Structure 1
Amino acid sequence: MSLPPREAYKAQARVLKALAHESRLLIIDRLAQGDCTAGELTELVGSDQSTVSKHLAVLRAHGIVDDRREGNGVRYRLVTRCVTSFFSCAVNVIRERS
């Protein structure tokens, strides 16, 4: 199913908005290395668990991360690995502006 051009841009903007937070980028970068728990991500981000859970919910809603129950906990994984290419693109933009 193909979206009309305007709708396609809106959909792309929603994905970019989901990525547009330092903590979410940190979470994505960590999950690119492998699955981990919410507790591990909470420690990494340095925020409380409810804040990290909200970030994970945004990423999950956009199909960027997924979760699975494992024992008493939940493990998260990066499902749309191509989002990490935005990191190198952002670095290139920053370098060109310097």
Structure 2
Amino acid sequence: MAKQLLSGKLTSKGQLTIPVELRTLLNIKEGDRLAFVLDENDRIIEVQPKTKKSIREVMGVLKSTMNVDADEAIGVARAERAKEISAKSKELRDE
């Protein structure tokens, strides 16, 4: 099986343009990350697409040491933020 050489262009900012044929082959979309697997001689032997994950996909990855009700936590966070905004507003009025 013959190998096809595909090339891209590296910009001064270190950004690489990946040819459309390769993006299609690897199913790479805008915003996806790529992992470069190197061998012992620091040569790239594999490129693995890493797609963006939504918050729903990563929920539950970190285990809590205590039971927390999400709705209650959101309510507490909103109340704390409201207090901060109120205090900042009062400071601005007093100036």
Using the size of structure 1 for normalisation, the TM-score is 0.22
Tell me which structure has the larger Cα radius of gyration.
2
Say which structure is richer in helix. Answer: 1
Which structure exhibits the higher relative contact order, with contacts defined as CA atoms closer than 8 Å and separated by 6 or more residues? 1
